[in-house]
Structure 1
Amino acid sequence: MPRVIFYTATTLNGFLADDADSLDWLFAAPGGEGGDADFRAFLERIGVLVQGSSTYEWVLEHDDLIAHPEKWPGHYGRRPTFVFSGRELPAVEGADLRFVRGDVRDAWPAIAEGAGERDVWVVGGGDLAGQFADAGLLDEIVVSIAPATLPSGKPLLPRRIGADRLTLTSVRQTGAFAELTYAVTGAVR
């Protein structure tokens, strides 16, 4: 059974994106562009990606993927990507995209099948990760805290998940970032 991991970065004051859903603040931080050996090792364990519509649209726009679909594998490889949205969204030519509406529990069998023996990466956003937590499907949160703040934006996890469900399993410094890993209890597959 694949594990579900919310692997993300946040500002020091807990925002994933600014009010315009931009991640420019992240790429301005030293090391924020990712791609280091630890990230590549994490990505090797991933069989499926899951993201919300705001994250998907930001990636589309940021890298002009409709005009340059050849850039998609540089982001995520050839892994299936489930995009949760209540709207019609454009698809990147050649990408294995699966647009989903509704509850994460309803989509879980297809997501798990797509992942096979590998893990599921909830790329973003925080509300989608919260939906996986609400459904008892979130196993781990890995959050890198960036040396940046925003006056407002999209919160890391707009849910109440108490200390009774979160166990700190790892703390490390990676460049200018502090990385915290929490096991999430209460998964009910």
Structure 2
Amino acid sequence: MGKVLTGGTMSLDGFIAGPGDSGFDLLFQWYGNGDVEVPGASPNVPPLRLSKASAGLLQEEWGDVGALVVGRHLYDLTNGWGGMHPMGVPVVVLTHRLPEDRPNFVFVDEGIEAAVAKAREIAGDKDVVVNGGQMARQALEAGLLDEIGVELVPVLLGSGTPLFADLGVTPVQFDGPVRIVEGTGVTHLRYRVRR
């Protein structure tokens, strides 16, 4: 059975989004500042152009992923990535408003435990990635996460949404970093959740 992971691209002051879902242009500059093209599976998302170090890490990690868990907010914000997540794997969407089924997406309204269980079932021996923000917080509080990844970018947003906003179980300790990769405009950090 694979691991359950989460993470996000984060500013130096700890935010994965600025006020009112702003700042993504600054947070994700590293997605287009390199010479290595990494195509995605979504027809609505252009290929990434990463530094060699970032491309190598993402291609390795993405190859180990069998399913994703995201919240309804991100699903709506991206318009369901045009029908396919860029990673090309099935997506479990945790929501209070069940829509009609769509290919490549499974909608769950029974909580984070049910969403992660469904994603594990879909992923088989591969990893499950839980999207950052509320989903990451809920999974951490439920004891479901094995590893955290942070893509740290050199920008200050001043305020916004932290990776683990309103965390109900503190303190939480991690082992590591167990891996550090320096890309262009981003430092990739990986930590294990301490049990």
Under TM normalisation by the shorter chain, which class is it? Answer: 0.7 to 0.9
Tell me which residue corresponds to 1:147. Answer: 154
Aligned to 2:26: 25
Structure 1: which 5+ runs fail to align? none
Identity of aligned residues (%): 29
Query: Which SS does the other structure have where 1:20 is aligned?
Result: coil
**Distance in 1 separating the partners of 2:99 and 2:15:** 25
> Residue 58 and residue 27 in structure 1: after superposition, are their counterparts in 2 closer, same or farther (change >3 A)?
same
Once the two structures are overlaid, the 10-residue window that deviates more, 37-46 or 50-59, is 50-59
Deviation of 1:34 after TM superposition, in Å, equals 6.3
- Structure 1 segments of 4+ aligned residues over 6 angstroms from their partners: none
Counterpart CA distance in 1 for 2:33 and 2:193 is 27
Q: Which amino acid aligns with 1:2?
A: G
Deviation per CA, 1:57-115, whole angstroms, max 9, x where unpaired? 22228x6x2xxx4xx35x121x2101112234576x5x410111232123333221111
Q: Deviations over 1:91-145 (max 9, x none)?
A: 6x5x4101112321233332211110000011x2322111111111100001011
**Aligned residues between the structures:** 173
Distance across 1 between alignment mates of 2:110 and 2:19: 24
Determine the structure 2 residue equivalent to 1:112.
120
TM-score, normalising length: structure 2? 0.77
Alignment of 1:84-103 (within 5 A): 84-88=94-98, 95-103=103-111
Q: Who is 2:133 aligned against?
A: 126
AA of the residue aligned to 1:80: P
* Partner Cα distance (2:136, 2:115) in 1: 14
CA RMSD of aligned residues (A): 2.5
Structure 2: give runs of 5+ residues left out of the alignment. Answer: 35-47
Give the structure 2 partner of residue 11 of structure 1.
11
Which SS does the other structure have where 2:114 is aligned?
helix
CA spacing shift, 1:136–1:15, aligned 2, 3 Å: same
